[in-house]
Amino acid sequence: MVTVEDLKNSLRIDNVEDDKLIQTFINSAESYIKSAVGKQADSLENDDRYKVAVIFLAGMYYQKRAETEVKIPYQIRSIIGQLQAEYQ
Protein backbone atom coordinates (compact mmCIF):
# COMPACT_ATOMS: atom_id res chain seq x y z
CA MET A 1 0.00 0.00 0.00
CA VAL A 2 1.32 3.40 -1.00
CA THR A 3 1.00 6.08 1.67
CA VAL A 4 0.76 9.84 1.43
CA GLU A 5 4.24 10.00 2.95
CA ASP A 6 5.60 7.68 0.23
CA LEU A 7 4.31 9.97 -2.49
CA LYS A 8 5.38 13.14 -0.72
CA ASN A 9 8.90 11.74 -0.35
CA SER A 10 8.96 10.88 -4.04
CA LEU A 11 7.82 14.38 -5.00
CA ARG A 12 9.90 16.10 -2.31
CA ILE A 13 6.88 17.75 -0.72
CA ASP A 14 7.30 18.97 2.86
CA ASN A 15 3.97 20.66 3.58
CA VAL A 16 0.67 19.09 4.64
CA GLU A 17 -1.72 21.36 2.75
CA ASP A 18 -2.29 18.89 -0.10
CA ASP A 19 -2.39 15.65 1.91
CA LYS A 20 -6.09 14.98 1.20
CA LEU A 21 -5.60 15.71 -2.49
CA ILE A 22 -2.54 13.46 -2.59
CA GLN A 23 -4.52 10.63 -0.95
CA THR A 24 -7.22 11.06 -3.60
CA PHE A 25 -4.61 10.76 -6.35
CA ILE A 26 -3.17 7.63 -4.71
CA ASN A 27 -6.63 6.07 -4.49
CA SER A 28 -7.31 6.93 -8.12
CA ALA A 29 -3.97 5.51 -9.30
CA GLU A 30 -4.53 2.29 -7.34
CA SER A 31 -8.01 1.88 -8.82
CA TYR A 32 -6.76 2.58 -12.33
CA ILE A 33 -3.96 0.03 -12.10
CA LYS A 34 -6.06 -2.65 -10.41
CA SER A 35 -8.78 -2.24 -13.05
CA ALA A 36 -6.22 -2.48 -15.83
CA VAL A 37 -4.65 -5.63 -14.37
CA GLY A 38 -7.92 -7.46 -13.84
CA LYS A 39 -9.22 -10.30 -11.70
CA GLN A 40 -6.22 -11.09 -9.53
CA ALA A 41 -5.61 -7.43 -8.65
CA ASP A 42 -6.06 -8.01 -4.90
CA SER A 43 -2.68 -9.75 -4.72
CA LEU A 44 -0.86 -6.75 -6.20
CA GLU A 45 -0.33 -4.98 -2.88
CA ASN A 46 2.93 -6.84 -2.19
CA ASP A 47 4.42 -6.37 -5.65
CA ASP A 48 7.03 -3.61 -5.82
CA ARG A 49 6.19 -2.93 -9.48
CA TYR A 50 2.64 -2.10 -8.43
CA LYS A 51 3.91 0.31 -5.76
CA VAL A 52 6.24 2.00 -8.25
CA ALA A 53 3.43 2.36 -10.77
CA VAL A 54 1.08 3.83 -8.15
CA ILE A 55 3.70 6.33 -7.00
CA PHE A 56 4.55 7.26 -10.58
CA LEU A 57 0.91 7.62 -11.69
CA ALA A 58 -0.30 9.43 -8.56
CA GLY A 59 2.71 11.74 -8.78
CA MET A 60 1.86 12.50 -12.38
CA TYR A 61 -1.76 13.23 -11.40
CA TYR A 62 -0.48 15.62 -8.74
CA GLN A 63 2.08 17.40 -10.90
CA LYS A 64 -0.20 17.73 -13.93
CA ARG A 65 -3.44 18.41 -12.07
CA ALA A 66 -4.03 21.69 -13.94
CA GLU A 67 -3.72 20.07 -17.36
CA THR A 68 -6.85 18.99 -19.19
CA GLU A 69 -5.26 16.18 -21.17
CA VAL A 70 -2.83 13.75 -19.54
CA LYS A 71 -1.40 10.70 -21.27
CA ILE A 72 -0.33 7.64 -19.30
CA PRO A 73 3.47 7.42 -19.73
CA TYR A 74 5.12 4.41 -21.33
CA GLN A 75 6.79 3.40 -18.05
CA ILE A 76 3.43 2.96 -16.33
CA ARG A 77 1.89 1.18 -19.31
CA SER A 78 4.88 -1.16 -19.39
CA ILE A 79 4.55 -2.04 -15.70
CA ILE A 80 0.80 -2.57 -16.11
CA GLY A 81 1.51 -4.90 -19.04
CA GLN A 82 3.90 -6.93 -16.93
CA LEU A 83 1.40 -7.12 -14.08
CA GLN A 84 -1.39 -8.15 -16.47
CA ALA A 85 0.71 -10.99 -17.83
CA GLU A 86 1.55 -12.22 -14.35
CA TYR A 87 -1.75 -11.77 -12.50
CA GLN A 88 -4.40 -12.67 -15.08
pLDDT of residue 64: 94
- Helices 19-37 and 74-87, axial angle in degrees (round to 10): 50
d(CA 35, CA 4): 21
pLDDT of residue 38: 85
d(CA 82, CA 27): 21
Confidence check: pLDDT of 3 > 90: yes
pLDDT of residue 87: 84
Identify the residue with better confidence: 1 or 10: 10
pLDDT of residue 1: 87
Confidence check: pLDDT of 69 > 90: no
Measured CA to CA in angstroms, residue 82 lies from 24, 27, 50, 75 at distances of: 25, 21, 10, 11
pLDDT digits (tens, 9 = 90+) for 7-58: 999 999 999 999 999 999 999 999 999 999 987 767 888 899 999 999 999 9
- Of 31, 52, 53, nearest to 42 by C-alpha is 31
pLDDT of residue 26: 97
